[in-house]
């Protein structure tokens, strides 16, 4: 593939003025920046139902990030030109956007988006950090990224895991995914956005509101984007997580699947990786759904106590009361 297609964002000057013809192309005017596991997929689906809202088909382009995407078919493949192609079908839609949850933890994303789109509207989804951590843990167990520890054991092991992540340059991003307490901290990630974008351009959506009052919460987002708030979206559960019967088995399956691209293309390996691994993973997931997995209340309370200062700082930055989170501890 040519360098023009593979050129990373770090070498693309997003400030370069476009020609008059290029500027006539539809461009995004709002961004859902995260946080992950806080209802962004559901919101993305509810927004794209609105006749005057256009969302990029690739939900998470990661274009303005400075952190790698572990999925090679998703990120680092867009030039500015091909990124703007994602919005070519916007037509006369008033609100044009995308939803890359990687923008929130990406140190450079706020400045990069502000540099090109200083008037953009920013949607920030927040969730009780303890519940978000538990959801993230389940998600990583589902996909085999968690090596097999309980959430409590993983939290106790976090200092060692952080040291490993610091040492492993090639896999650092993947290693940092399993730093669960670290994952729940958002105040320092929000700060660059509130420093660059005025509060009137930032809308905070709470996951708890989306879960209990989905239609009203979505209509407030419509209103923020300047489109007809009377439109009623069809409400469904999107991107649910499930918990495997064996976390360790799921991790071993992922490790085996990762080896596949480096192995010689022999027929028996192709059959094993294409059919056996997915089948075993499916059964592991199916059995897991038959065994309930709950969040230990003591672990939840301990996490919320640790997040207390970060929650208060988040309140200060966003101007949104999060007292209910603290009370729930």
pLDDT in tens, 141-180: 988 889 999 999 999 999 999 998 888 766 666 778 899 9
- Does 278 lie in the same domain as 232? no
pLDDT at 230 over 80: yes
Give the pLDDT band of residue 29 (cuts 50, 70, 90): very high
**What are the tokens at 246?**
């064996």
Q: What would you report as the CA-atom Rg of the chain, rounded to the nearest whole angstrom?
A: 21
pLDDT at 131: 96
- Measured CA distances, 90 to 17, 20, 86, 95 (Å): 21, 18, 9, 9
Range 219-222, long-range pairs (CB < 8 A, 24+ positions):
221/43, 221/46, 221/47, 221/123, 222/47, 222/50, 222/53
Dist. CA 201–CA 216, nearest whole Å: 20
Question: Which pLDDT tens digit goes with each residue over 82-98?
Answer: 999 999 999 999 999 99
pLDDT at 259: 56
In a domain, residue 110? The reply is: yes
Question: Which pLDDT tens digit goes with each residue over 30-85?
Answer: 999 999 999 999 999 999 999 999 999 998 999 998 765 554 444 457 899 999 99
For 297, the 3-state DSSP assignment is: helix
pLDDT at 12: 36
**What are the tokens at 130?**
């303890």
CA angle 164, 300, 311 (to 5 degrees): 80
pLDDT at 267: 55
In a domain, residue 165? The reply is: no
pLDDT at 66: 78
Query: What mean pLDDT comes out for the span 108-133?
Result: 97
Query: What mean pLDDT comes out for the span 16-41?
Result: 79
Q: Could you list the residue range(s) of the whole structural domain that residue 116 is in?
A: 3-139+185-240+297-327
- Does 220 lie in the same domain as 128? yes
In a domain, residue 180? The reply is: no
- Does 303 lie in the same domain as 285? no
In a domain, residue 23? The reply is: yes
DSSP type of residue 50: S
From 22-26, 127-131, 297-301, 311-315, the region with the lowest mean pLDDT: 22-26
CATH number for the domain harbouring residue 305: 3.40.50.300
For 15, the 3-state DSSP assignment is: coil
Nearest to 139 by CA among 250, 46, 221, 48: 250
- Does 58 lie in the same domain as 198? yes
In a domain, residue 106? The reply is: yes
Query: In 27-49, which positions are buried (b, 16+ CB within 10 angstroms) versus exposed (e)?
Result: bbbbbbbbbbbbbbbbbbbbbbe
Percent of the chain with pLDDT over 90: 62
- Its pTM stands at 0.83
Dist. CA 243–CA 139, nearest whole Å: 8
In a domain, residue 107? The reply is: yes
**What are the tokens at 285?**
């997931």
Nearest to 78 by CA among 28, 20, 173, 12: 12
Which has the higher per-residue pLDDT, 22 or 169? 169
In a domain, residue 38? The reply is: yes
pLDDT at 161: 92
- Does 92 lie in the same domain as 61? yes
pLDDT at 73: 43
- Does 261 lie in the same domain as 122? no
- Does 127 lie in the same domain as 46? yes
**What are the tokens at 212?**
């209990």
Query: What mean pLDDT comes out for the span 221-228?
Result: 98
- Does 314 lie in the same domain as 218? yes
In a domain, residue 170? The reply is: no
Dist. CA 201–CA 180, nearest whole Å: 30
- Count how many Cα atoms sit within 13 Å of the Cα of residue 167 in the half-sphere of its side chain: 6
- Does 253 lie in the same domain as 128? no
- Measured CA distances, 298 to 99, 135, 145, 302, 329 (Å): 34, 16, 25, 6, 9
Query: What mean pLDDT comes out for the span 279-285?
Result: 81
Give the pLDDT band of residue 14 (cuts 50, 70, 90): very low
- Does 121 lie in the same domain as 194? yes
Look at the chain and report how many structural domains it folds into. Answer: 2
Give the pLDDT band of residue 20 (cuts 50, 70, 90): very low
């Amino acid at each position: 593939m040519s360098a023009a297609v593979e050129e990373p964002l770090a070498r693309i000057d997003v400030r370069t003025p476009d020609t008059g013809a290029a500027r006539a192309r539809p461009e995004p005017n709002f961004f859902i920046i995260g946080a992950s596991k806080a209802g962004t997929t559901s919101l993305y689906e509810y927004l794209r139902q609105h006749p005057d809202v256009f969302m990029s088909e690739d939900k998470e382009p990661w274009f303005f990030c400075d952190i790698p995407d572990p999925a090679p078919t998703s990120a680092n493949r867009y030039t500015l030109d091909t990124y703007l192609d994602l919005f070519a079908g916007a037509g006369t839609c008033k609100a044009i956007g995308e939803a890359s949850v990687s923008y929130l933890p990406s140190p450079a994303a706020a400045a990069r988006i502000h540099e090109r789109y200083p008037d953009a509207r920013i949607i920030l989804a927040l969730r009780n950090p303890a519940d978000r951590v538990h959801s993230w843990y389940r998600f990583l167990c589902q996909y085999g990224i968690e090596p097999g520890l309980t959430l409590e054991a993983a939290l106790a092991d976090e200092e060692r895991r952080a040291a490993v992540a610091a040492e492993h340059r090639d896999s650092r991003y993947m290693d940092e995914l399993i730093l669960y307490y670290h994952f729940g901290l958002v105040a320092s990630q929000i700060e660059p956005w509130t420093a660059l974008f005025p509060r009137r351009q930032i809308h905070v959506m709470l996951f708890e509101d989306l879960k209990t009052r989905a239609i009203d919460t979505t209509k407030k987002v419509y209103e923020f984007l300047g489109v007809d708030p009377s439109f009623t979206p069809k409400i469904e559960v999107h991107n649910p997580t499930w918990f495997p019967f064996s976390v360790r088995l799921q991790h071993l399956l992922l490790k085996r699947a990762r080896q596949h691209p480096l192995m010689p293309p022999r027929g028996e390996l192709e059959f094993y990786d294409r059919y056996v691994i997915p089948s075993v993973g499916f059964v592991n997931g199916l059995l897991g759904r038959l065994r309930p997995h709950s969040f230990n209340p003591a672990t939840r309370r301990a996490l919320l106590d640790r997040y207390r200062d970060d929650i208060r700082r988040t309140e200060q930055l966003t101007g949104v009361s999060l007292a209910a989170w603290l009370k729930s501890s």
